Amino acid sequence: MTRPDHLDYADEAESAERAEAWSQALALWKRAVETCPDTAPSQYADGMARCARQIAVDAQLASIARRVFRIPTLDTRKSDSLDFHEVAVWDILQALRLAYRAGQTNE
């Protein structure tokens, strides 16, 4: 059996990005860089930067959810009582404002 090369890792990283599995995609882009025979193509660096940005966005959104909605995690847990929450419209407005402001400061 042949060992995966940088192109295999890059393909898997792109697939993970399409699934929005940012941490997995980032790890795969890093493996692509490590196994690349010459200097890493800029697309690998771009992929790593893209995933890092998305991980940061997800962390900010999770922080807003914890503060405003008192929801401990935004991870899917496959349980109605854990994945569905009743929230007030004023809390939704507050969360959207916080997310909007966070987006403005990160431009």
What pLDDT sits at residue 105? Answer: 84
- pTM greater than 0.85 (yes/no): no
For residue 41, CA distances in Å to 33, 51, 58 come to 8, 16, 26
pLDDT in tens, 36-87: 877 668 889 999 999 999 999 999 999 999 999 999 999 999 999 999 999 9
Interatomic CA distance for residues 85 and 69, integer angstroms = 9
What pLDDT sits at residue 1? Answer: 60
CB atoms within 10 A of CB 103: 11
8 A C-beta contact, residue 17 and residue 50: yes
* Average pLDDT of the segment spanning 97-105: 92
CB atoms within 10 A of CB 2: 5
